[in-house]
Structure 1
Amino acid sequence: MGLNLVQAWSQAKQRLEAAGLAGPVIDARLLVEAAAEATRTDIVTDPYRALTPEQEARLADYLARRERREPVSHILGRRGFWKIMLQVTPHVLTPRPDTETVIDVVLKDFPEHAPWSVLDLGVGSGAILLAILAERPAAKGLGIDVSEEALAVARDNAAHLGLAGRAAFFRGDWTAGLGSESFDLVVSNPPYIASDVIETLEPEVRDYEPRIALEGGADGLDAYRTLAPEILRVLKPGGRFAVEIGFDQKAAVETLFREAGARDLRTVKDLADRDRVVAGSK
């Protein structure tokens, strides 16, 4: 006798709990939905729908991978962020709810129908840039990343979201090659984890996320030392910036931007009440 949806979800939760994983309820539901080609509504309204043998086998594979601490986003190849769904691969940082604080901050500064320009430095999957463009239909953006594999993911995400006509991407080292280009808004979620902290991270991050998107040097601040003066250089007068930071980096990052000439500096907390975004203007 095969599994039905509610049995599959219950057994999946038990397996992930036994493996000591955080968030087993949500992870189990997401894996069951993907394996059984079902929705959350299906589980509620049609809980006794049987899985096919192929779907059971797929679920077993997904659960075994999750037990090995592979992130759900890598298993499924996608992750929701803000109001959009993004493709995710091992070549890009998995978008996190903390980073949505950047979106919340910048949208308040720009009216919906203003034709403003956005630069996303270290664009990765395109999460920040594409979430902004999806909310501001008159805006256009440029995403830069040193990883060609990451840029391929960002381009695919832009195409799938119908935003390819307003988003351009190219490979580069932060602002190198931009010349005299200037922007109304610059955003970035740079690598900010200190090198000696990397090995203490959860396996989902340490073993599966791209190291280049995590490691910020001995004190985690290497990227900001480069970015602070460069962001101010490529901003238009009166333009604004917002960068994600580590929970304990407020003072150091604010100082770097203040020394670079930034004005109106402020640090915004995320939903967990941790310092998360430093924002300011030129």
Structure 2
Amino acid sequence: MTDTGATLGDLQRSGRARLAAAGVASAALDAALLLCAATGERREALMAYPERTVDDPAADAYRAMIDRRVAREPVSRILGRREFWGLDFAVAAPVLDPRPDTETLVGAALDWLEERPAARIADLGTGSGCILLALLHERPGDGGLGIDISDAALDVARANAAALGLSARASFAIGDWSAELPDGAMDLIVSNPPYIPSGDIDGLEPEVAVFDPVGALDGGADGLAAYRRIAADLKRVLVPGGAAFLEIGAGQENDVAALLERGGASMVQQIPDLSGRIRCLGAFFRAER
């Protein structure tokens, strides 16, 4: 049943109350974002014109969005979009929802690339393509390859590349990490691999455990399965003097660093995010073999 003549203020208050009752910590923000999406209004209008009447189709669309958020579906998945590195990415069921924390990896990779006029980049487990495409957006002379084991994920990545005007420099291929890459093919490897221990996934927030693809989360019994595969092959696929930047889970820095050193890295750098947590590792390989 709809409430004919509902206003922006009415809808925002009712949506916020429902989300708060469902335990959504960001109830006020999420209610506002969803109301803007349903009505086409800007957030400023919600504050300036709460008395503005919303037509029934828009009000019904908003209530349906609130129902989905009450079920703990993330706002980004409800809207089908996520901003990452200031760019707009499509988000769909087959891919991990890009997180702002992963921008730490992008920033670290760009710092390393700064002194290189052009580079060949591979993104292992590319998902939405957000890491690779953010790098290529900043680096107009570079080209890159996104690899994923999921055809459905690659479809999302290709669509994002097209939307960002990067299809000419970004290609995508199905693959098992770096197994299909030729020797010495890449200057830079980037990856945000699955790193959650299998037994911990059910205890994650529903937004992650229910709505992110398990293949993008499950890092095996100890969370390190993907790193073992990636680290063992880096020296082979990188050019002499190449580098890799890998996102890691909390407390994994020493274990992953040991894998990278065992794989031939001459130096491993710990890179913190804005909160001070070690968010990714940089692995660097000597120019001489």
Report TM bin, short chain.
over 0.9
Please show how residues 120-159 of structure 1 align to structure 2 within 5 Å: 120-159=123-162
Partner in structure 1 of residue 180 of structure 2: 177
Q: 2: distance between equivalents of 1:142 and 1:162?
A: 15
Among 92, 95, 99, the alignment partner of 1:92 is 95
Asked if residue 7 in structure 1 is aligned to residue 10 in structure 2, the reply is yes
Shift of 1:191: 0.4
AA in 1 matched with 2:27: P
Asked if the contact 1:112/1:136 (under 8 Å) is kept, the reply is no
Asked if the contact 1:130/1:163 (under 8 Å) is kept, the reply is yes
Q: 1: distance between equivalents of 2:187 and 2:51?
A: 53
Asked if the contact 2:184/2:239 (under 8 Å) is kept, the reply is no
Shift of 1:252: 0.0
Q: 1: distance between equivalents of 2:178 and 2:226?
A: 12
Aligned residue pairs, count: 282
AA in 2 matched with 1:109: W
Q: 2: distance between equivalents of 1:112 and 1:59?
A: 48
Which sits farther off after the overlay, 230-239 or 38-47? Answer: 38-47
Partner in structure 2 of residue 190 of structure 1: 193
Q: TM-score of the superposition, structure 2-length normalised?
A: 0.93
Partner in structure 2 of residue 216 of structure 1: 219
Q: 2: distance between equivalents of 1:140 and 1:47?
A: 48
Partner in structure 2 of residue 260 of structure 1: 263
AA in 2 matched with 1:207: V
1:227–1:45 distance in 2 versus 1, CA, 3 Å:
same
Q: Classify the secondary structure of the residue corresponding to 1:149.
A: helix
Compute the RMSD of aligned alpha carbons.
1.6
Give 5+ residue unaligned stretches, structure 2: none
Asked if the contact 1:113/1:138 (under 8 Å) is kept, the reply is no
AA in 1 matched with 2:207: E
Shift of 1:280: 2.0
AA in 1 matched with 2:87: I
Q: 1: distance between equivalents of 2:116 and 2:233?
A: 27
Q: 2: distance between equivalents of 1:53 and 1:112?
A: 56
Asked if residue 275 in structure 1 is aligned to residue 281 in structure 2, the reply is no
Partner in structure 2 of residue 201 of structure 1: 204
Asked if the contact 1:245/1:277 (under 8 Å) is kept, the reply is yes
Q: 2: distance between equivalents of 1:112 and 1:88?
A: 33
Among 39, 52, 55, the alignment partner of 2:55 is 52
Which sits farther off after the overlay, 23-32 or 236-245? Answer: 23-32
Q: 2: distance between equivalents of 1:180 and 1:265?
A: 22
AA in 2 matched with 1:229: A
* Deviation >6 Å, runs of 4+: none
Q: TM-score of the superposition, structure 1-length normalised?
A: 0.95
Among 242, 246, 250, the alignment partner of 1:243 is 246
Asked if the contact 2:136/2:143 (under 8 Å) is kept, the reply is yes
Give 5+ residue unaligned stretches, structure 1: none
Q: Classify the secondary structure of the residue corresponding to 1:108.
A: helix
Which sits farther off after the overlay, 43-52 or 243-252? Answer: 43-52
Which sits farther off after the overlay, 210-219 or 225-234? Answer: 225-234
Q: 1: distance between equivalents of 2:41 and 2:241?
A: 48
1:266–1:46 distance in 2 versus 1, CA, 3 Å:
same
Asked if the contact 1:4/1:50 (under 8 Å) is kept, the reply is yes
Shift of 1:181: 5.0
Q: 2: distance between equivalents of 1:165 and 1:5?
A: 43
Q: 2: distance between equivalents of 1:50 and 1:12?
A: 16
Q: 2: distance between equivalents of 1:271 and 1:173?
A: 32
Asked if the contact 1:118/1:184 (under 8 Å) is kept, the reply is yes
